[in-house]
Amino acid sequence: MELLGEIIRLQIQTTSLKVGERPHTRYDPAGIVSVPRLGLEPGGVNGFTDDGTRLNDVHHAQHPRSKSRGTNAISVLFTAHYDEIRNRFGDWLADGIAGENILVRCDRHLSELELRSGIRIASSDGAIIDLERVIVADPCVEFSRYAMRFPDDQRPDRSVTEAVQYLSDGMRGYYAIYQGAPVSIRPGDLVYAASSAA
């Protein structure tokens, strides 16, 4: 296995980050909540606060307004991708602003090909956690406009299309699923590419 880095941030989306009514939807990161512990189970992820309060991610199958599609239960992004996003759109875009569940400190861009065999997490309590069916998290127009600081009341133009294209192919991150018994992960846990696993 290849060590990719360590988890530096865990978070959930308590609500959809796309707000408003079509065709006037916009991106609003207010629903992102950073948590010290993330629970993984086949239905999705839950965040746990310092006092143990459980918060379902909006992509969890049991969330009352679930956005689960069966393939988007867990999202993962890497700090090198954020560095590239900031180089394109500006330093004001903070780590975590894209809404991924797991942010991994990694000094290089990771492609879908490198992650096709899965992502493995070694938790601090000794569990080995395999994230499977890793696919690109396609960027939305709303986040692309947000990253550009494109006016909400202006019709998207070619520059928005180019921003969406730039954020494609894994730049915005990856989705995965987990199919084992419920487990927890924390910042500091190590993340590996499973591609070279025997």
Q: What is the pLDDT of residues 32-69, one digit of tens each?
A: 999 999 999 999 999 999 999 999 999 888 877 878 78
Structure tokens at 89: 């759109």
For residues 102 and 96, what is the distance between their CA atoms, to the nearest angstrom? 9
pLDDT exceeds 80 at position 7: yes
For residues 137 and 6, what is the distance between their CA atoms, to the nearest angstrom? 20
pTM of the model: 0.94
Structure tokens at 105: 């400190």
The mean pLDDT of 18-22, rounded to a whole number, is 88
For residues 186 and 108, what is the distance between their CA atoms, to the nearest angstrom? 22
If we measure between CA atoms, which residue out of 58, 99, 46, 93 comes closest to residue 76? 99
For residues 139 and 142, what is the distance between their CA atoms, to the nearest angstrom? 8
Task: List, in order of start, the domains of the chain with CATH numbers.
Answer: 2-196 (2.40.33.20)
pLDDT exceeds 90 at position 191: yes
Cα 61-185-69 angle, rounded to 5 deg: 20
pLDDT at residue number 22: 81
If we measure between CA atoms, which residue out of 38, 66, 56, 70 comes closest to residue 175? 70
pLDDT exceeds 80 at position 146: yes
- Percentage of the chain modeled with pLDDT above 90: 83
Per residue in 74-105, pLDDT tens? Answer: 999 999 999 999 999 999 999 999 999 999 99
Using 50, 70 and 90 to split pLDDT, how confident is the model at 195? low
Residue 99 near residue 45, CB atoms below 8 Å: no
The mean pLDDT of 169-188, rounded to a whole number, is 95
Element (H, E) at 87: helix 79-89
Dmax over CA atoms of the chain, in Å, equals 52
Q: What is the mean pLDDT of the chain?
A: 92
Cα 69-6-50 angle, rounded to 5 deg: 75
pLDDT at residue number 24: 80
For residues 163 and 12, what is the distance between their CA atoms, to the nearest angstrom? 25
The mean pLDDT of 145-166, rounded to a whole number, is 93
pLDDT exceeds 70 at position 197: no
pLDDT exceeds 50 at position 8: yes
